[in-house]
Amino acid sequence: MSAHRLSPLATVLLVLGAAVMLAPMAWTLLLSFKSNAALMADSGAAFAGPYTFENYAAILKGSLTLQWLANSLVVATGAAVGVLVLSSLAGYGFARLEFPFRRTLFVIVLLGLAVPEQAVILPRHQLFAWLGLHNTYPGLILPSLTGSFGVFFMTQYFRAIPRELDEAALLDGASRFTLFWKVLLPLTLPAQATLGVFTFLAAWNDYWWPLISATTSDYFTLTVGLASAQMNYAQTSGLGFLMAQAVFASIPILIVYIAFQKQIVRAMAGTAVR
């Protein structure tokens, strides 16, 4: 990577921007190491000791936070894996197979991009209630799998792979499945990584649907769980614990970001992933 020289002004602006972004996180981190009692007296006490791990110890002992973390992991992983499998198969189909109403179906998929979740949330709630899917993992995961974006994204990616490769594989005696599994799918790995990370993060951060679907705290995801903990004057009586929960909840996300930062940056920059 070439070293870019920034003008002093740009450096100052970037540092300021970074400071604005980092300040709340640093504040959260500081508060999480203070006892609830000390913060009840004065939240400004965060700038001075004594610091303590008691809030984190409370999370690991007894609280439901670990369960919510597990729920979030199951839901986000399930959503990511499900979306990858479905989108890859559908994308390959739309990009490479000839079947009746292919164009019409693809247009319908595209139209799906324009349907906001708010428009379908009530019927979905009723449907899931009728199916008995509320307060289950499938109930939390399934709505993520209905998104059109992944199908559209993978279709475009498959389309960008030269057809000569398919033809070479067919002449090499590959079956349709071998062609898909051994030739085309490996070439979509960069797209899979991008789509997988984004789906995971979106499911992880989702608040509204788990709020509706998970009504017993056993099935809360972290977002819903943390929000529920804010009730009942938690911000005054349990501020340190709340902040520790927030920090705790962001650790998995941090890991995903660090592990996949290349894919995330590429996807954000919109450059072709090759």
Nearer to another protein among residue 170 and residue 212 (C-beta): 170
Stretch that binds another protein, among 30-38, 64-72, 165-173, 265-273 (CB under 8 A): 165-173
User: What is the C-alpha to C-alpha distance for residues 170 and 105, in angstroms, rounded to an integer?
Assistant: 27
Residues with Cβ within 8 Å of 262's Cβ and at least 6 positions away in sequence, in order, are: none
Tokens found for residue 54: 């008691």
Q: Under the criterion CB under 8 A, does residue 183 sit at the interface with another protein?
A: yes
For residues 154-169, one letter each, b for 16 or more C-beta atoms within 10 angstroms of the residue's C-beta and e for the rest, the string is: bbebbeebeeeebeeb
Q: Under the criterion CB under 8 A, does residue 205 sit at the interface with another protein?
A: no
Nearer to another protein among residue 24 and residue 173 (C-beta): 173
Q: Under the criterion CB under 8 A, does residue 273 sit at the interface with another protein?
A: no
Tokens found for residue 198: 């984004």
Q: Under the criterion CB under 8 A, does residue 97 sit at the interface with another protein?
A: no
Contact 191, 273 (CB under 8 A): yes
- The CB-of-205 to another protein minimum distance in angstroms stands at 32
**One residue of 145, 170, 212, 246 binding another protein per CB under 8 A:** 170
Stretch that binds another protein, among 114-122, 184-192, 216-224, 252-260 (CB under 8 A): 184-192
- The CB-of-159 to another protein minimum distance in angstroms stands at 16
Q: Under the criterion CB under 8 A, does residue 169 sit at the interface with another protein?
A: yes
**One residue of 16, 127, 172, 230 binding another protein per CB under 8 A:** 172
Q: Under the criterion CB under 8 A, does residue 186 sit at the interface with another protein?
A: yes
Nearer to another protein among residue 64 and residue 185 (C-beta): 185
Nearer to another protein among residue 158 and residue 248 (C-beta): 158
- The CB-of-215 to another protein minimum distance in angstroms stands at 46
Nearer to another protein among residue 117 and residue 172 (C-beta): 172
Three-state secondary structure readout of 90-159? HHHHHHHCCCCCHHHHHHHHHHHCCCCHHHHHHHHHHHHHHHCCCCCHHHHHHHHHCCCHHHHHHHHHHH
Query: Could you tell me the end-to-end alpha-carbon distance of the chain, in angstroms, rounded to an integer?
Result: 17
Cα–chain-centroid distance for residue 81?
A: 12
Q: Check the CA dihedral 221-227-233-237 and report its sign.
A: positive
Q: Scan for tokens 């979030």, then name that residue.
A: 72
Nearer to another protein among residue 54 and residue 166 (C-beta): 166
Q: Under the criterion CB under 8 A, does residue 218 sit at the interface with another protein?
A: no
* Upstream peptide bond of 252 is cis (omega within 30 degrees of 0): no
Stretch that binds another protein, among 62-70, 82-90, 172-180, 261-269 (CB under 8 A): 172-180
Which residues are at the interface with another protein (CB under 8 A)?
162, 164-165, 167-175, 178, 182-183, 186-187, 189
